[in-house]
C-alpha cells in the first residue's frame, strides 16, 4: 500500500458524504478483504483494535473482484487511493469515504538503476514523495 493516512485510506460504502467514517463504524459491516501485498495485513492490524471485530465476508487477490463485490452490496472494503476507482467493471458506481482515526503508514521505496540518468518527471516524483513523508 502507499501511505495509509486519513485521506489516503478510503472506505467504500454509502455513508453520508459530509463526514469521515469512524473506524468503529466498520465493526458492523461485512468486509471484503484484498489479499494483495501488505494490504490484508495492514487492514487486519487496523481492524484488530475494534470490538467487535468486523466479519470478513470475502477474501480475494483481485482488485476488480473487490470492486465488483462492493458494487453489488456484498460488503465494504478498505482501500488506499491508489486502487480506488468510482465504478466496477460492470459499470456500477462505488463511493468512497475518508476514514477518521489513526491509520497505519506503509513505507514505500523508490529505486532506479545505478548511474542511470533520471528524467525530470522522476526527479519531480522523488521530490513530491520526500515532501509528503512528514504527513
Q: What is the CATH number of the domain that holds 57?
A: 3.40.190.10
What is the extent of the structural domain holding 42? 9-108
pTM summary value: 0.65
At which residue does the C-alpha cell 466479519 appear?
55
- The cell numbers describing 75, all together, are 460488503
In this prediction, residue 68 carries a pLDDT of 92
Q: What is the per-residue pLDDT across 14-28, written as a single tens digit (0 to 9) for each?
A: 465 667 777 777 777
pLDDT at 107 over 50: yes
For every residue of 53-96, which 3-state class applies, written as one string?
Answer: CCCEEEEECCHHHHHHHHHCCCCEEEEECCCCCCECCCCCECCC
Q: Does 47 fall in a domain?
A: yes
As a whole-number percent, the residues of the chain with pLDDT over 70 amount to 72
Band the pLDDT of 120: cuts 50, 70, 90: very high
Q: Is residue 82 part of a domain?
A: yes
Amino acid at each position: 500500500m502507499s501511505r495509509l493516512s486519513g485521506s489516503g485510506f478510503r472506505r467504500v460504502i454509502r455513508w453520508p458524504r459530509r463526514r469521515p467514517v469512524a473506524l468503529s463504524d466498520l465493526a458492523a459491516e461485512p468486509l471484503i478483504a484484498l489479499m494483495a501485498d501488505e494490504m490484508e495485513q495492514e487492514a487486519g492490524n487496523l481492524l484488530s483494535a475494534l470490538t467487535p471485530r468486523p466479519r470478513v465476508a470475502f477474501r480475494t487477490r483481485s482488485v476488480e473482484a473487490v470492486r465488483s463485490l462492493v458494487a453489488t452490496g456484498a460488503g465494504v472494503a478498505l482501500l488506499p487511493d491508489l486502487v480506488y476507482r468510482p465504478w466496477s467493471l460492470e459499470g456500477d458506481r462505488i463511493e468512497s469515504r475518508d476514514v477518521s482515526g489513526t491509520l497505519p503508514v506503509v513505507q514505500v521505496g523508490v529505486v532506479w538503476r545505478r548511474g542511470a540518468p533520471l528524467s525530470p518527471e522522476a526527479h519531480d516524483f522523488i521530490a513530491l514523495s520526500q515532501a509528503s513523508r512528514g504527513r
